[in-house]
């Protein structure tokens, strides 16, 4: 027969346990606590006997937690969980607890026995380790891995649009080099605080170095840009580092989910491309991704940035190439050519660039249009020919600018707007209304590079053209010994004249080609044999007085 242990032995065992023990009766009143409970909570035995344990509650747990607790207990099952409770001195502690219901002879629950161990330090250590694995130690923001996991999770369960902003500091290396890495770290820490404060609803992460990203709700691109502008403003401020003022500047690229991508990799890549364009172009506003960026190499983008910067800082130069009036034997027209100023001299960047790029062309077109008025004032009697892209022709602000410049003194009768044959062929519906408006303002209109595409008579009749520029390929066919087709050129010139158009032969580089242009009864000729492009500020006024005797002084450009 098994002997029962005397009560004093059980009492001694309970007192020696390292785990806290608390026992309540069926009404919830405490009937026993051991010494470990006293040490854990700071309450003495006499203070708690007869009381309900709710005085330990910290308010940390929601009602759902206690609902599940009582469901388990009343069903006769032990409840296991982690509780955050409050000590007598007000400090919080965390305990792993098992609460077991004890039934009496009748089957009813008569006692609840709670055993627990203090895991406060263990949980704090776990939290610190978790923070080290998810947070950037310098800024307190999510690190790259944790940020990526959060975005991937949101993408997986996304039911609405979101935006991803990719931000990079400009010139941060200079801060490190001049003030030291400790100062650089302080700059990054301050920047992180600024970003979090600027857009509290955003998930902000440090991707590495001086690169940051923010992920936030946005219904459309307009809202995404407005919120991104807050981030950019927060990153473009002056901060004090060790008593030294440091001016921060940043570049920001922006994408919209799912419009610009449905995977994190795609969104980050495209946001990075947009940021890179913003940095190269020295843009001070959020730059949204556009599909044309996908096909650009870093070299091409860098060239475009140089081009854009040159237009806005005076590192560019407009050249003029004379166009000979064959009927009058006078150089009284000239085409504007853009050149980029580099240490080795002036170069033409356009052949190396993707001229389908909308932002690039709009900047160039506006620049050239604004130069028209200055050219007319410095070269009285000169008629200037300028190329305009389809992007600008489809933009009412460009047309409004042209009208405004006319009111300010620009003479449209001494300006010719050129449109390429390719544009006329593929974007007729887009450009036709603009060309009619320009015609109504008094500009003359020319179709450039005719004969190199597929423009037919039907297209020509839909446009209010004045001039036809026959492409140099027809005058100088490729290949060794290539010679122009007199019959074809004659047909083109005759057709143009029948339509009431004047004809310009481009690519005239030899005396023989000039003679052919005269023989075919072309109206104008243009090419290196006639005039080599010159920087227009250096162009002498006597240029307008050149006649047949001086044609041929030009030579090919290098």
Name which of 217, 194, 182 is nearest 140 in CA terms: 194
Nearest-5° angle of CA 69, CA 70, CA 71? 95
Q: How does DSSP assign 468-511, residue by residue?
A: EEE-HHHHS-SSTT----HHHHHHHHHHHHHTT-EEEE----SH
Can you name the CATH fold of 7-124? Beta-Lactamase (3.30.450)
CATH for the 304-550 domain, from 3.20.20.450, 3.40.50.2000, 3.40.720.10, 3.30.200.20: 3.20.20.450
Q: How does DSSP assign 263-313, residue by residue?
A: SHHHHHHHHHHHHHHHHHTT-SS-EE--GGGGG--HHHHHHHHHHHHHHHH
Q: What interhelical angle do 264-280 and 298-313 show, nearest 10?
A: 30
The helix (H) or strand (E) run that includes residue 323 is strand 316-325
Residue-level pLDDT at 359: 52
Residue-level pLDDT at 51: 94
In the chain, DSSP finds a helix count (H) and a strand count (E) of 20, 22
Q: Domain spans of the chain?
A: 7-124, 135-295, 304-550
Average pLDDT, consecutive stretches of 10 residues, N- to C-terminus, the chain (558 residues): 70 83 93 93 94 92 91 90 94 94 89 93 78 82 92 88 94 81 87 93 93 95 95 87 81 95 93 87 87 71 69 73 92 86 68 50 70 83 86 79 90 92 75 91 92 61 89 67 71 90 94 93 94 71 48 44
Nearest-5° angle of CA 316, CA 317, CA 322? 155
Residue-level pLDDT at 547: 44
Residues 6+ apart with CB under 8 A from 63: none
> Which pTM does this prediction carry?
0.53
Say which CATH superfamily domain 135-295 falls into: Reverse transcriptase/Diguanylate cyclase domain (3.30.70.270)
Q: How does DSSP assign 511-538, residue by residue?
A: HHHHHHHHHTT-SEEESTTT---EEGGG
Residue-level pLDDT at 537: 54
Name which of 340, 410, 406 is nearest 382 in CA terms: 410
C-beta of residue 484 within 8 angstroms of C-beta of residue 473: no
C-beta of residue 398 within 8 angstroms of C-beta of residue 362: yes
């Amino acid at each position: 027969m098994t002997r029962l242990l005397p009560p004093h032995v059980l009492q001694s065992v309970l007192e020696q346990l390292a785990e806290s023990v608390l026992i309540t009766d069926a009404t919830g009143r405490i009937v026993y606590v051991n010494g470990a409970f006293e040490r854990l909570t700071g309450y003495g035995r006499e203070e708690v006997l007869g009381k309900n344990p709710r005085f330990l509650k910290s308010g940390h747990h929601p009602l759902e937690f206690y609902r599940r607790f009582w469901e388990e207990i009343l069903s006769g099952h032990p409840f296991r969980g982690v509780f955050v409770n409050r000590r007598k001195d007000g400090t919080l502690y965390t305990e792993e607890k098992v609460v077991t219901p004890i039934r009496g002879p009748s089957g009813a629950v008569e006692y609840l026995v709670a055993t627990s161990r203090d895991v406060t330090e263990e949980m704090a250590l776990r939290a610190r380790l978790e923070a080290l694995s998810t947070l950037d130690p310098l800024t307190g923001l999510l690190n790259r891995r944790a940020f990526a996991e959060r975005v991937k999770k949101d993408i997986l369960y996304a039911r609405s649009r979101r935006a991803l902003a990719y931000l990079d500091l400009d010139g941060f290396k200079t801060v490190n080099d001049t003030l030291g890495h400790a100062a650089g770290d302080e700059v990054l820490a301050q920047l992180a605080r600024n970003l979090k404060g600027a857009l509290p609803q955003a998930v902000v992460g440090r991707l590495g170095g001086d690169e940051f990203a923010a992920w936030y709700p946005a219904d459309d691109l307009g809202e995404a840009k407005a919120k991104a502008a807050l981030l950019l403003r927060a990153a473009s401020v002056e901060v004090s580092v060790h008593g030294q003022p440091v001016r921060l500047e940043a570049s920001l690229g922006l994408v919209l989910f799912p419009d610009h991508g449905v995977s994190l990799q795609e969104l980050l890549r495209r946001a990075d491309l947009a940021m890179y364009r913003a940095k190269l172009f020295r843009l001070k506003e959020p730059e949204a991704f556009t599909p044309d960026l996908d096909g650009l190499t870093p070299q091409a983008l860098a060239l475009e940035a140089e081009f854009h910067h040159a237009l806005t800082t005076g590192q560019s130069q407009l050249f003029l190439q004379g166009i000979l009036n064959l009927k009058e034997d006078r150089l009284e027209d000239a085409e504007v050519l853009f050149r980029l100023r580099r240490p080795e001299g002036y170069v033409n960047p356009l052949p190396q660039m993707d001229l389908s790029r909308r932002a690039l062309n709009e900047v160039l077109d506006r620049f050239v249009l604004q130069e028209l008025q200055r050219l007319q004032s410095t070269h009285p009697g000169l008629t200037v020919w300028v190329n305009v892209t389809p992007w600008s022709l489809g933009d009412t602000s460009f047309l409004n600018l042209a009208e405004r410049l006319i009111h300010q003194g620009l003479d449209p009768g001494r300006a010719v707007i050129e449109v390429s044959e390719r544009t006329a062929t593929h974007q007729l519906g887009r450009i036709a209304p603009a060309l009619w408006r320009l015609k109504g303002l008094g500009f003359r209109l020319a179709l450039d590079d005719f004969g190199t595409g597929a423009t037919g008579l039907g297209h020509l009749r839909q446009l209010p053209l004045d001039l036809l520029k026959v492409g140099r390929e027809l005058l100088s066919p490729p290949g060794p010994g290539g010679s122009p087709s007199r019959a074809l050129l004659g047909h083109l010139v005759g057709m143009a004249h029948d339509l009431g158009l004047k004809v310009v032969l481009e690519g005239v580089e030899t005396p023989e080609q000039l003679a052919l242009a005269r023989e075919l009864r072309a109206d104008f000729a243009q090419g290196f044999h006639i005039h080599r492009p010159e920087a227009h500020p250096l162009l002498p006024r006597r240029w307008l007085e050149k006649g047949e005797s001086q044609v041929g002084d030009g030579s090919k450009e290098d």
